[in-house]
């Protein structure tokens, strides 16, 4: 008899599954695991799923406080729901806010986000698919769907859950036999590398990973005057909302105030209402504590006298009056008692088709790469311009005709996963610049240092901060703007996404230089050569009257060694072969007088440029100087090519010495000449045979 009688109804289940199809195609399987295939295989084999990608071992719990040998996990077991209770259920009576009670993991921020999620059946059904449970199709496998940096992923888990003394160690439901919230937490832990990776965070992170939305954060002591209206608008757009109270010391963490509010704790904002009280309209906010208990005891709390003086309809409709962690409080008290509010704005994809208000949104991926596109904030005047740049066009004003409202979100990717390596979030932010009329509508090339030297920002992120996402709302006149995302310090590496949500349709596109190369294609042959140079050449060339790559190497290294302001490890034989190949017309692999004269003048010109653009007189080029000096030499390149050059020619400190600089220029010119020789129709496209490709790359 298979475990739990799994195969008794396999045939009927599989027929139903195959008739229904494999599910959403817009969601990518996380780490290549397809839930439907794995579950069907388990049912056919009569076994329960065991997830090798997130196994029931200590490393899945954590790496420090929950790592191997931790006292917090001593005596812990991995138990399936049927080992915890006799009649486990996935969801009982629909998913509700009261199904989420915090365990011993510091992820109240996540649970507050889950609580808000349950308020929308549409959002909930996407994150928590309903096609699973403990019925005929049970095979010890479940799946959940999360938004991750621009795409939705489907995360498969087994249902072995951390438990101690027969009870769940982390999130659980009040009923004890309902497991959707515990399984959801496990799937999210897998997505981020471990349970411990979820410890500490912002509710906005959970909001966004459950919806794909972008979250605005407000400090309530300096909130906008129209905050209530913004919240009402958010409610109309099905926005998710969370709030918290700041702490002033570590001792304040989760300290309970005299009115039973918890400091440093993430709450969900679950409703907004206005009621008539004492002849006036009073604004109320409904809030939920993810603990499922410990509620506000001030005005408008469950047992407060204010409820005796509202209409019977309002009292019956709104009054909660039981200890479930959810309570009402006056908006004015909310503003005074809480410190921070987070509002997650949803995309049209997450909203119901009938939603009355929708944002227009666009997403771009990008990277800060040390020495190439990680220029740091505006304080770094020499390198700031090398950061990625995005042009934003605002055309249609808001309905009130007072400008164009938009929200910018800058999000770091995958930083929770690298906590095991001791890495954490970088300090990031962005600045927005108005594009001058003279540049509007022109090619999307990057704006250079001189633009930023003389242009003040039109708007910026409120702060540079080490959060996963920096987000701010702006209102600017119609026009074209430049968004420049950056880390605070230069040369810090990370991947990111930049999102723009606007009330009216807008367009955003990345700025990058077109590849433009302006070097002479023909080596002049009628050049007068100085007799003294010809005499030196004759002496260097020897009896055969030509200079080989080995001879060229000795000449160049002897000359460079005399220039103390040029740092060099010496030209390699391979580099000198490339120089000879660039000018070798007859395939002799040697340079005659005319060819050597042309090369010598070229290198002297490159040396002059090198010293001109070596702004710090280091004798080397950093990647930013390299971009400028290559352009001066006739090579305007895009970001991807500059990144490749940096990887190929920079040393460990992201600098390029003189010999590598010359080698880079030789390679660029050789490849350019080879391409142009094969281009037939002057259309920027060359068709190569395998032999031509190998010849071009081998002798470049």
- Name the phi and psi angles at 266, rounded to 5: -90, 125
Pair 288, 115: CB distance under 8 Å: yes
Distance (Å, rounded) from C-alpha 208 to C-alpha 210?
5
Question: Contact 391/499 with Cβ under 8 angstroms?
Answer: no
Cα–Cα distances in angstroms (integers) from residue 388 to residues 385, 445, 514, in the given order: 8, 11, 14
218, 203 contact by CB (below 8 A): no
Rounded to whole angstroms, what are the CA distances from 290 to 70, 107, 219, 325?
26, 10, 21, 7
How many secondary structure helices (H) and strands (E) does the chain include? 20, 27
* CA dist 623 → 373, 450, 648, 671 (Å): 9, 18, 12, 21
Burial class (CB in 10 A: 0-12, 13-18, 19+), 153: middle
CB 54 within 8 A of CB 61: no
Tokens of 321: 């009056």
Exposure b/e, 124-136, CB count within 10 A at least 16 = b: bebbbbeebebee
Positions annotated as catalytic residues are 108, 265, 289
> Which residue is it, tokens 């077991």?
77
Question: Which DSSP string corresponds to 551-597?
Answer: HHHHHHHHHHTT-TTS--S---HHHHHHHHHHH-SSS-SEE-HHHHH
Strand, helix or coil for residue 322: coil
CA–CA dist 61, 261 (Å, integer):
30
């Amino acid at each position: 008899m298979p475990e739990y009688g799994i195969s008794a109804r396999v045939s009927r289940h599989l027929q139903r599954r195959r008739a229904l199809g494999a599910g959403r195609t817009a969601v990518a399987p996380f780490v290549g695991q397809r839930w439907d295939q794995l579950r069907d295989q388990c049912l056919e084999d009569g076994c329960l799923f065991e997830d090798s990608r997130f196994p029931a071992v200590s490393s899945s719990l954590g790496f420090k406080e929950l790592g191997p040998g931790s006292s917090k996990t001593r005596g812990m077991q991995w138990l399936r729901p049927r080992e915890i209770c006799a009649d486990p259920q996935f969801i009982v009576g629909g998913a509700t806010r009261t199904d989420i009670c915090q365990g011993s993991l510091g992820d109240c921020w996540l649970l507050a986000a889950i609580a808000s999620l349950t308020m929308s059946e549409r959002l909930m059904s996407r994150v928590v698919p309903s096609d699973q449970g403990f019925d005929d199709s049970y095979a010890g496998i479940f799946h959940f769907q999360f938004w991750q940096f621009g795409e939705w992923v489907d995360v498969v888990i087994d249902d072995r859950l951390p438990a101690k003394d027969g009870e769940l160690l982390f999130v659980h439901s009040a009923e004890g036999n309902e497991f959707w919230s515990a399984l959801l937490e496990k799937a999210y832990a897998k997505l981020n590398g471990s349970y411990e990776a979820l410890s500490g965070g912002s509710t906005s992170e959970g909001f966004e990973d459950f919806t794909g939305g972008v979250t605005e954060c407000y400090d309530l002591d300096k909130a906008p005057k129209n905050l209530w209206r913004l919240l009402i608008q958010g409610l109309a757009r099905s926005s998710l909302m969370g709030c918290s109270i700041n702490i002033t010391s570590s001792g304040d963490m989760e300290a309970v105030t005299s009115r039973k509010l918890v400091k440093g704790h993430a709450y969900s904002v679950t409703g907004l209402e206005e009621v008539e009280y004492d002849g006036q309209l009073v604004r109320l906010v409904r809030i939920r504590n993810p603990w499922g208990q410990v509620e506000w005891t001030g005005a408008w709390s469950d047992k407060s006298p204010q409820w005796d003086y509202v209409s019977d309809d309002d009292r019956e409709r709104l009054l909660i009056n039981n200890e479930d962690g959810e309570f009402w409080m006056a908006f004015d008290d909310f503003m005074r008692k809480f410190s921070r509010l987070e509002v997650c704005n949803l995309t049209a994809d997450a909203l119901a088709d009938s939603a009355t208000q929708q944002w227009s949104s666009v997403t771009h991926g990008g990277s800060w790469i040390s020495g190439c596109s990680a220029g740091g904030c505006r304080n770094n005047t020499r390198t700031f311009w090398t950061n990625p740049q995005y042009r934003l066009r605002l055309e249609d004003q808001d309905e009130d005709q007072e400008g164009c409202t938009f929200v910018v979100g800058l999000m770091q990717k995958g930083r929770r996963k690298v906590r095991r390596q001791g890495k954490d979030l970088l300090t990031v932010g962005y600045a927005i610049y108005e594009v001058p009329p003279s540049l509007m509508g022109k090619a999307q090339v990057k704006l250079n240092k001189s633009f930023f030297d003389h242009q003040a920002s039109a708007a910026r992120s409120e702060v540079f901060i080490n959060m996963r996402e920096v987000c701010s709302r702006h209102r600017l006149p119609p026009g074209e703007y430049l968004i420049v995302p950056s880390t605070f310090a230069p040369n810090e590496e990370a991947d990111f996404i930049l999102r723009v949500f606007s009330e009216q349709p807008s367009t955003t596109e990345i700025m990058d230089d077109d590849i433009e190369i302006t070097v002479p294609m023909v080596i002049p042959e009628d050049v007068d050569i100085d007799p003294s140079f010809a005499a030196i050449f004759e002496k260097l060339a020897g009896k055969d009257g030509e200079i080989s790559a080995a001879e060229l190497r000795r000449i160049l290294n002897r000359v460079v060694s005399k220039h103390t302001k040029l740092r060099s490890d010496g030209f390699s034989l391979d580099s000198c072969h490339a120089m000879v190949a660039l000018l070798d017309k007859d395939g002799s692999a040697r340079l005659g007088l005319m060819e050597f004269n042309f090369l010598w003048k070229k290198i002297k010109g490159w040396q002059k440029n090198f010293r001109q653009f070596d702004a710090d007189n280091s004798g080397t080029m950093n990647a930013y100087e390299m971009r400028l000096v290559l352009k001066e030499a006739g090579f305007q390149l895009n970001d991807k090519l500059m990144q490749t050059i940096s990887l190929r020619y920079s040393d460990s400190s992201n600098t390029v010495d003189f010999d590598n600089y010359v080698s880079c220029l030789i390679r660029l010119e050789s490849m350019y000449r080879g391409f142009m020789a094969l281009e037939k129709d002057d259309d920027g496209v060359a068709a190569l045979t395998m032999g031509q490709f190998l010849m071009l790359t081998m002798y470049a």
